[in-house]
């Protein structure tokens, strides 16, 4: 029997990168997966790859009404949710002096407000269900990036919001764990686009690799295995923790 049989999962930003790999890994482990994204066409392709145990839904994580309709769909189909992967996020480059307040606020909206709204609305479907909320933060939720002040602030907030939710759920006997996951630099479309935008892509890639003592950048699947671990009973004694998967970046 697969370790996530009978579980219902929702992945945000599931059409590409870490989200797509996580959705596929959760499906392989036996869960039914709602693959959600603003890119519905690509989310549908991921759902098709997973097979009958998956459904693609449109979800812009910045839009509360979108979240409400997704949860209403899940309630209709299953009446419960066991795994919420708050993965959609990113952007937020710029120094404290070089970033507009609007850009900062947009970064907080995408990376933090979205998790606040989504988790708040998910709890009624997760209570008492031995459930798991997994928030994809970053190494920059633990270590500062001077070139990305908004991103560092946002991912740091995700780290601490996770702990607050974990403590609240535990104190109230809700049977919901909540952990954050902290990837190092991973070869995803978002990261590759950033490397492409650098003056010397090869030099920028080497500079990034050199910050990972393990000697290479991660693949989305390296993070997806952590998502499955946090979703399953293998991590049943973990809540409010930081799962760091970074090739030694934070050492």
Ligand X SMILES: NC(=O)c1ccc[n+]([C@@H]2O[C@H](COP(=O)([O-])OP(=O)(O)OC[C@H]3O[C@@H](n4cnc5c(N)ncnc54)[C@H](O)[C@@H]3O)[C@@H](O)[C@H]2O)c1
Q: Which residues are at the interface with ligand X (CB under 6 A)?
A: 12-13, 15-19, 37-39, 59-62, 87-90, 110, 136, 138, 183, 185-186, 188-191
User: Smallest distance from the beta carbon of 34 to ligand X, in angstroms?
Assistant: 12
User: Smallest distance from the beta carbon of 18 to ligand X, in angstroms?
Assistant: 4
Strand 8-11, strand 54-58: pairing:
unpaired
- Confirm if 247 and 210 have CB atoms less than 8 A apart: no
What counts of helices (H) and strands (E) characterise the chain?
9, 7
151 is catalytic: yes
Q: Helices in 57-127 by DSSP H: which ranges?
A: 64-77, 101-108, 114-126
**Straight-line distance from the first to the last Cα atom of the chain, in angstroms, rounded to the nearest whole number:** 37
User: Smallest distance from the beta carbon of 183 to ligand X, in angstroms?
Assistant: 4
The residue among 70 and 166 lying less far from ligand X, judged by its C-beta, is: 70
Contact residues for 193 (Cβ-Cβ < 8 A; gap 6+): none
User: Smallest distance from the beta carbon of 83 to ligand X, in angstroms?
Assistant: 16
Q: Using CA atoms, how far apart are residues 74 and 50, in angstroms rounded to an integer? A: 18
Among the listed residues 104, 151, 168, 185, the single catalytic one is 151
Question: How many other CB atoms are found less than 10 A from the CB of residue 25?
Answer: 24
Sort 63 into a burial class: Cβ within 10 Å, 0-12 / 13-18 / 19+.
middle
Question: How many other CB atoms are found less than 10 A from the CB of residue 52?
Answer: 8
The residue among 172 and 206 lying less far from ligand X, judged by its C-beta, is: 206
Sheet containing 176-183: give its strands across: 54-58, 32-37, 8-11, 83-86, 131-136, 176-183, 242-245
User: Smallest distance from the beta carbon of 67 to ligand X, in angstroms?
Assistant: 10
Residues labelled as active-site residues: 151
């Amino acid at each position: 029997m697969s370790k996530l049989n009978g579980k219902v999962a929702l992945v945000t930003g599931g059409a590409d990168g870490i989200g797509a790999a996580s959705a596929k890994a959760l499906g392989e482990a036996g869960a039914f997966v709602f693959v959600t994204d603003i890119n519905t066409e690509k989310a549908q392709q991921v759902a098709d790859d997973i097979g009958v145990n998956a459904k693609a839904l449109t979800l812009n994580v910045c839009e509360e009404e979108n979240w409400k309709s997704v949860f209403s769909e899940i309630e209709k189909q299953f009446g419960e949710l066991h795994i919420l992967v708050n993965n959609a996020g990113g952007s937020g480059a710029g120094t404290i002096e070089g970033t507009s307040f609007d850009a900062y606020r947009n970064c907080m909206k995408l990376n933090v407000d979205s998790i606040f709204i989504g988790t708040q609305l998910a709890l009624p479907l997760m209570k008492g269900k031995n459930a798991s909320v997994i928030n994809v933060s970053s190494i920059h939720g633990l270590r500062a990036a001077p070139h990305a002040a908004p991103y560092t602030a946002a991912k740091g907030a995700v780290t601490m919001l996770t702990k607050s939710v974990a403590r609240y759920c535990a104190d109230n006997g809700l049977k919901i764990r909540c952990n954050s996951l902290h990837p190092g630099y991973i070869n995803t479309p978002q990261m590759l686009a950033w490397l492409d935008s650098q003056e010397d892509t090869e030099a920028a890639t080497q500079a990034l690799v050199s910050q990972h003592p393990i000697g290479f950048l991660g693949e989305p699947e390296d993070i997806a295995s952590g998502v499955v671990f946090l979703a399953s009973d293998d991590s049943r004694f973990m809540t409010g923790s930081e799962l760091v998967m970074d090739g030694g970046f934070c050492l």
